Amino acid sequence: MIKAGIVGATGYAGVELVRLLQSHPQVEIAGISSVSYEGKSISEVYPNLYEICDDTLESEDKLIDKCDVIFASLPHGLSEKLAKKCVAAGVKLIDLGADFRLDSEEEYQKWYKKSYEEKDLHEKSVYVIPELMRAQYKGQPIIGNPGCYPTSIALGLAPLMQSGVVKDEGIVIDSKSGVTGAGRGLADNTHYPNCNEAFSPYKIASHRHTPEIEQTLSKLAGKQIRVTFVPHLLPVNRGIISTIYASLTAEISAEELHALYDKFYAREKFVRVLPLGKVANLRDVKMSNYCDISVHADGHTGRAIIVAAIDNMVKGAAGQAIQNMNIMFGLKEDCGLDFVPPAF
C-alpha cells in the first residue's frame, strides 16, 4: 500500500483528496495536516466523514516520516519549503498549488508577486496533465498538478493546437466555475447573498491562470500563443465549463472537427468526446474525473467552438492529483478513480 499524506486537508481540494483516497485500493491515508484545525479530527470539521475518516489533523512535519507521497493543497508560496523537506526525506510530492506550474520564474513573479525560493527544486519537478504530458514524467520527485481552468482549456484545445487547423491569434476562452473554485476563505464575491441568483465575470484579463494556459498551449502548438481568458463565477458548488472560440485556417466541417477529436482522444478513458450535436454540460461530469468535450463548427464565421466540462474539485484538482500519483507509482491511471458521475 502507498502511504499518502495530505497537507491542507481541510481546504476544499484537500478534503476531496480525503474523500477520494478512502476508495483507492492501493493507498492508505497515513496522515493529514491542517494549520487551522491542528489537534482536531477531520470529521469535526467535515461531519460527512464521521466514522469513515476520524483521523486527527497533525503538523506537516509529522507526516513526512510516515508517508511515501505528500499531497500539498496549499496557497501559492507555501509548497516550496514543504517540497524541500520531502525531497530530503525521499518522499514524493504532488503540489495542487501554483508553485510548480510555471516554467518561468519571471512569469511567476509577474502573476503571483513572489520569487522562487528553492530554485533547484524546479529542476526536479514536472507539470503534468496526464492525457497530454504523461510521457514527460521520468521519475521526478515533484509533480505540479495543473489548475482547474487550465485543465479544461488544454484538453479542449489540444487537438486543434497540435493539428495546426486554427489560427494562433484571436483565441477567446469564456470559462465558468462553481464557487468551490475560490476555496474556503471568506470573500465578498463568494458570500452567499452576493453569489446566489447572480452571475458575472471576474478578474477580466488578469486571472493568474492565464500564464499557465498560455504555457501549455504554446507547447502544444510549438509556438507562442496568447489568449483572451475571461472567467465567470457560477452560483453552483461544483463544475467548470469552458467555451472556446478559435478561427480556423481553412474551411472544415463539423464532422471533420469531430473526427479529429475522436482520433486524438480515442485511448483516453477520462476524456469523453460527445456525439456530434450534443453539448457538454457540467452536470454530467459532477463528482467524477471525466472531461466531456463537445465540438462545434461555425461556418458563418469560420470558427471552431469547443465546449469542455469538468468537475473543478475532481478532474480540476484532487482527481487529477490522484491520476498523477498513479503515474508516479506505476499504477493504472484510473485506479481509485473509476466511478460513475451521478445523474443529477
What cell was used for 262?
475522436
Rounded to two decimals, what is the model's pTM? 0.96
Catalytic residue among 86, 148, 195, 291: 148
d(CA 140, CA 108): 21
Distance set, CA 56 to CA 31, 279, 280, 320 (Å): 8, 44, 40, 25
Q: For residues 201 and 230, is the Cβ–Cβ distance under 8 A?
A: yes
Q: For residues 184 and 244, is the Cβ–Cβ distance under 8 A?
A: no
- Give pLDDT < 70 ranges for the chain: 186
Handedness of CA 72, 78, 80, 83 (dihedral sign): negative
What cell was used for 140?
521526478
d(CA 216, CA 196): 33
46: left (phi over 0), alpha (psi -120 to 50) or beta: beta
d(CA 185, CA 182): 8
What cell was used for 39?
489537534
Q: For residues 116 and 102, is the Cβ–Cβ distance under 8 A?
A: no
Q: For residues 146 and 127, is the Cβ–Cβ distance under 8 A?
A: yes
Tell me, what amino acid is at 151? T
Per-residue model confidence (pLDDT) at position 191? 82
Orientation angle between helical segments 254-264 and 148-163, nearest 10 degrees: 110
Per-residue model confidence (pLDDT) at position 176? 97
Nearest to 205 by CA among 180, 226, 187: 226
Per-residue model confidence (pLDDT) at position 194? 84
Per-residue model confidence (pLDDT) at position 189? 79
> Exposure string (b/e) for 304-332, b if CB count within 10 Å is 16 or more?
bbbbbbbbbbbbbbbbbbbbbbbbbeebe
Domains and CATH numbers, the chain: 2-123 (3.40.50.720), 149-312 (3.30.360.10)
Mention every residue, 6+ apart, whose C-beta is less than 8 A from residue 167. 246, 247, 248, 249
d(CA 94, CA 74): 11
pLDDT tens for 101-113 read: 999 999 999 999 9
Nearest to 140 by CA among 63, 69, 219: 69
Known active-site residue 291: no
